[in-house]
Structure 1
C-alpha cells in the first residue's frame, strides 16, 4: 500500500480532484507563511548576515530532482577556468550531524553529505557544510582565506545568508505544466512569481538554448546532461566495455531524487538491466547493501558513500552539465569579476 507522501507526490504528477480540494487550503497557508518569512528577512526584522566575499546561491523552487548539483559543478568549473578562487557551502543533506565541517580528502559522506562530497571531489573547490550556511561560509573562509567567491549549493530559501546573486534551476519538464502549486498540493517551495526576483534561471533537461522558456525570465540558460564513459569504482581510468555485458547479470542501484531517469539512461545506452533498485534520496549505502550481480552500476552521488573494500563489480556512471550560453561568464560580469580568457 502506498505511503501518504507517495500518494501526494503522485498527485503532483497526475492531479487528483479530491486531493486537490483537500490540499488547496493547506497550500495557501504555506504560501502565506513563506511570503511573510521572506518579507521579514528582506525588511531586516529577521537577521541575515553578509559574508566578506560575494555569495551566489544556486537553488530551486521545487522539492528535489531539479538537476541542480550538476549545474553547480559546471558553474564552479567555469569560474575556476577564469582564474576565480571559488568555494562551496551547503547544508549537507543526509549526513549524521549538523555541525560545520570543512571537507578534506578523507571526509566521508556521513559527515559531509553525499552531494557536497561529490562536488568537492569533482571540482577540487574548497567546500564546507553546516546547518547554518553562514557558519559554514565563515569556517570555509577561515580555512581558505584566498577564496574570492562562494557558491551556495541549494539554500534559496535560507535567507539568513545574504546573497549577491540568485540562480534558480528549473526542470524543463515542468516549464509548461499548469498544475504547479505550493506544498502540499504541489511540489513548489515558493510560487512561480519568485522566478521574477532572481538573477537568472537555468532550465535543466532542455536541449540547447530554447526561446520556449523565455516567459520564465529575461536571463535564461539551458542545461543538458552529457554522459561520460562508465568507470570502475575507485579506478576512473578503467572503463566498462558495454559490448561484453550481454551474457552478464547487470543491476542498477540509485539513491537519488528521480532514480528512473538513471535507469532509463542506462537502457538508452543499450544496457539490459536484470534488476533496478531505487533507494530514497540521500539514503545511506554500504557495500553489503548492494545486490548480487556480475555488474552493479551506480551514480556518482552514491559512489561517494562507498569508501572501504570497493568491490570490483561496481561501476559508476558519471554525468556533467553543459550550460548554454556561458553562465560562469554571466556571473563573473555581474559581480565585476570577469577577467577574460
Structure 2
C-alpha cells in the first residue's frame, strides 16, 4: 500500500501511532490556515470583485466529498431558471498553467478532468486557471452576458471575492470527534470555518437531521444531497443505453475508476446488477488512455474518466452517469440570498 493510501486510511480509521507522529504537523498546518484566514477577515488581501455575483461551492476536506455533482446540480438549476451562469475552476491535474476558456475541442490536459466534465454535463461556459479572479474576467470577456459565476472549489482561495459560500460536508463524518487538520486528518480548515459559510450541504445524506446540533449552527441553512445513478450509455454512441440484454451469455464485465472514492462507483454498478470480473483503480485525476482499460467484453468507467479518452472510442466502453439531488431547493435559497430575480 502506498504512503498516501496509508494516510488516507488513517483519516477514516485513526491509527494511534500515526496520530502521535502527525499531530504536531497538524498543529503547524492549523496555524498557517488560521493566519491565511485572518488576512482575509482583516481585509488585507487584494480582493477585487468580479462584475457579477460569485458563488463558491467548496469544502473543508481534502477532496472526496461529492462536491462536483452538487456544483453540476446547482448550475443546472440556475440554467433551467433561464439564468446565464458560468463556472470557474482551478483545473486540477491539467498540464497548462495558462487560463483556458473551454470550447468544444478542449481536452482534459488543457482543462482538467472535472471542469471538462462539468462543461459537457451542463453546457454552460467554463474557464480554468489558478488565479480565480483573472479566470473569471477571462470567462466574462468571452461570455459577457453571464449573470452569475459559480466557482467549483475555492473555499480557501481567499483572493477571490465571493458573494455566497456553500460548504459540502460528507454525511460519513457527522458525529465524529476525531476529525483533524492535515496531515493527521483530512481537513483543510477546522470545523469552526463552517460558522462563516452561508449554506452547508451534507453529501450522501437522506436528510440533514442532527447536522445543526453537530455543527452547533442553529441559524445556518443545511441541505442534503443524494447521488442518483443514471443508466450507463455506450461511450462511442451515447444514445445507446445499457439494459439486461446488452450482456450476452458468456460475456464478462470489468470497471475502471480514477476517482477519490472508487468503491462507490463499483457498488453503483453492482446495484444495477452488473457483476464485475475485474475492478481496476487509478489515482484520482490520473491520466487515462485506451491502453489502461481492462480487457473485457464490457468495460464501465466514470464520467470523470470518460472525458480523458480521445476518439476513436472502443465499442465495448460504457459510461455510468450520476447526478446529485439536493433537498430542499438550494438554488432558490441562493438566489434569495443574492436578492437575484430570475427572468
Which residue of structure 2 lines up, in the alignment, with residue 7 of structure 1? Answer: 6
Secondary structure at 1:18 match in 2: helix
Q: Which string of whole-angstrom CA distances, capped at 9 and with x for unpartnered residues, describes residues 56-94 of structure 1?
A: 000000011100000000000111112211010000011
CA distance in 1, matches of 2:79, 2:108: 24
2:212 counterpart (211, 214, 218): 214
CA distance in 1, matches of 2:62, 2:14: 17
RMSD: 1.2
Do 1:57 and 1:152's aligned partners in 2 also have CA atoms closer than 8 Å? yes
What secondary structure does 1:136 align onto?
helix
> Aligned partners of 2:210 and 2:298: how far apart in 1?
41
| 3-state SS in 2 of match to 1:75 | helix
Aligned residues: 338
Mean alpha-carbon deviation: is it higher for 239-248 or for 161-170?
Answer: 239-248
2:342 counterpart residue number = 339
The answer to whether the 8 Å contact 1:224/1:323 transfers is: yes
CA distance in 2, matches of 1:13, 1:53: 39
SS of aligned partner of 1:88: strand
Match of 2:151 in 1: 152
CA contact (8 A) 2:91 2:128 kept: yes
What are the ranges of 5 or more consecutive residues in structure 1 without an aligned counterpart?
none
Q: Normalising to structure 1: TM-score of the pair?
A: 0.96
CA distance in structure 2 between the aligned counterparts of 1:169 and 1:279, rounded to whole angstroms: 24
Report matched runs for 1:186-225 at 5 Å.
186-207=185-206, 209-215=207-213, 216=215, 217=217, 218-225=220-227
Distance 1:97 1:283 in 2: 15
Q: Which runs of 5+ in 2 are unaligned?
A: none
Given that 1:109 and 1:117 are in contact with CA atoms closer than 8 Å, whether structure 2 keeps it comes out as: yes
Any idea what SS the aligned residue of 2:60 has? coil
Q: Is the 8 A contact 2:236 2:314 kept in 1?
A: no
In the alignment, which residue of structure 2 is the partner of 1:66? Answer: 65
Encode CA deviations 1:314-333: one digit per residue, 9 max, x unaligned: 00000110000000001111
Name the residue aligned to 1:269.
272
How far off its partner does 1:304 sit? 0.7
Match for 1:234 among 233, 236, 241?
236
Preserved CA contact (<8 Å) 1:256 1:279? yes
8 Å CA contact 2:253–2:275 kept in 1: the answer is yes
Does residue 163 in structure 1 map to residue 166 in structure 2? no
Deviation string, structure 1 residues 70-128 (Cα, Å, up to 9, x no partner): 00000001111122110100000111111100000111111011100111111111100
Verify: 1:256 aligned to 2:259, yes or no.
yes
- Contact 2:236 2:315 (C-alpha < 8 Å) held by counterparts: no
Deviation at 1:244, TM superposition (A): 4.5
Among 313, 319, 331, the alignment partner of 1:328 is 331
Match of 1:285 in 2: 288
Match of 2:154, SS? coil
What TM-score, normalized to structure 2?
0.96
Q: Is the 8 A contact 1:329 1:338 kept in 2?
A: no
State the distance in 2 between where 1:330 and 1:180 align.
29
Per the alignment, in what secondary structure is the counterpart of residue 83 of structure 1? coil
Q: CA deviation at 1:45?
A: 2.2
Kindly tell me: are residues 11 and 266 of structure 1, through their superposed partners in 2, closer, same or farther at Cα, counting changes over 3 Å? same
Match of 1:33? 32
**Superposed, which structure 2 residues align to 1:50-199 within 5 Å?**
50-199=49-198
Runs of 4+ with deviation above 4 angstroms: none
Q: In 2, Cα distance between the equivalents of 1:338 and 1:213?
A: 30
